[in-house]
Chains A and B, each alone.
Chain A
Amino acid sequence: MAITSDIEKPSPKLIPWTEKLAQVPWWALIILLLGVLIVYFIFTSPTYEDAFFFLIAGVRLTIQVSLISFGTALVVGLIVGLGRVSKNVVFYNLSSLYVEVVRGIPILVMLIYFAFVLTPLALQLLHWLSTAMLQNLAIGPVVGLAESMANLNIRDVPMVVRAIVGLAFCYGAFEAEVFRAGIEAIERGQMEAARSLGMSYFQAMRYVILPQAIRTVLPPLGNDFIAILKDSSLISVLAVRELTHLGKLNRARTFRTFETWNTVAFLYLILTLSLSILVKFIERRMTYEK
């Protein structure tokens, strides 16, 4: 099309037709078609239907885990991000240590480490603390607390909690870098103007820098929210009954590999696609306000 239209005068009818064709979001149509196909199977094929109703319970847990760990990661990330731009030597170095360590370890390893190394370690520490309390400070309320601490078993810490903490810890480091970049993107004059009006460093951060920074980091944050949803599949190694783990169980139960993983992939795709639409919507709202 391009070659002929460059030489000859473009025919007014042909161009709109091909251009319209080129503008069709084919990728979305293909996804839609695959989706319709799977939905059709779920309604017509008993094996797909069985897989779907078995897996749907995992979707709920996947969403819950993603939301809670991402929310926590945002809080951690904001605090650590402030540390990364802080002039306070201790705050800066602690934040940098955390970010560099976490970024250098695979999430899967980190999750296993949290679940099977750090949790028992924390429990041991708790037990040791309770013995120390009982020996040195045996007064009414303290005894009760110490005894309940001593009775805490490793099995009392559910895997899903360890998984959420692990995910939040990993993503906290990523979000910290996102926030740091966002804060550093705001020109220096903004902080100077705020400080010159008598605002403290934290007031300037709170009312001038962060409201602007958050707007700039919204796209990467949305990206990471989708990423954490996908990475929540990693916690299946901790036998948390989220979507991927239920997928494994369903395959073992029915030996229907094809149908099981088709449905799992389809469900993840639905989740991530609706999330990215939501993120786009929020971004648009935020920029309108400006």
Chain B
Amino acid sequence: MKNNMVEPIPVDDDIIIIDHVYKSFGKTKALVDVSLRVKKAEVCFIFGPSGGGKSTLLRCINHLEAPDSGRIIVDGIPLTHAKTNIDLVRAEVGIVFQLFNLFPHLTVLGNVTLAQEKVRKRSKEEAEQLAMELLERVGIPEKANAYPGQLSGGQKQRVAIARSLAMNPKIMLFDEPTSALDAEMIKEVLDVMLDLAKEGMTMLVVSHEMGFAKAASDRMVFLAEGKIIEEGSSKELFANPKQERTQAFIDQILY
């Protein structure tokens, strides 16, 4: 993260540091004293009841929401510092939304190249070449010239992943990436995410896909009422959760 006005803070291996973060919307407390450290190449799976603050936590990491208090440090750059150029940080942090948020007026190729050209200042050829490689990787190169309106939900989400990856991010955030998908399309998106995890991408995944958590996550974090109730490896959490609240939630969603 060069060209930022802020001196990076030495952070060892912790690429994301969330330090006593509070956030509320009006009277609703979304995050209450949340602290979390994520290491490079770690896959952190965040789950919990809706309204528990999972999405807010993710959105704070690339500053779509600003915390009321506390610090968030991404790759050594404190987000809330007055001198931080947030655009530079965001280019390094990809986010995939529940509702895809593809740009409907651009083709799939246009979606994947736009930010490359405008933010990374790559040439059109260079951007298109990388875009095609990424579309190949997520399995839909044949849709390059289609518009988002012509794609299925699963295809849209894979384009959204390719669009984020095109910025060569150091971190990928997933905000319920499969929640808006029909059942038969969930796997195609999870497969792409699993590949990413294997390649050593640092990932924060908010989801209810417990199968993915078992298969790919290094750590699971249970978030409810804005607080981290419990964290640990998927084995620990599934086998013997220490908190009753966690146990109750897992019992409820595992059919």
Contact = CB atoms under 8 A, between A and B. Distances in A.
A197 B105 contact: no
B114 A198 contact: no
* Interface residues of B, dominant DSSP: mixed
Contacts, number: 63
Interface residues of B, number: 27
Contacts of A196: 62, 64, 90, 93-95, 164
Contacts of A123: none
B147 A197 contact: no
A212 interface: yes
B91 A197 contact: yes
B105 A198 contact: no
A189 B105 contact: no
B105 A212 contact: yes
A198 B115 contact: yes
B118 interface: yes
A213 B118 CA distance: 20
A192 B160 CA distance: 13
B103 interface: yes
Contact of A190 (B94, B103, B115, B149): B103
Given A196-B93, A197-B90, A199-B118, A211 B99 contact: no
Contacts of A187: 101
A290 interface: yes
Contacts of A151: none
A203 interface: yes
Interface of B: 62, 64, 87-88, 90-95, 97, 99, 101-105, 114-115, 118-119, 147, 149, 160, 163-164, 167
Q: Which 6 A-B pairs have the closest CB atoms?
A: A198-B91, A197-B115, A193-B101, A189-B101, A198-B119, A198-B90
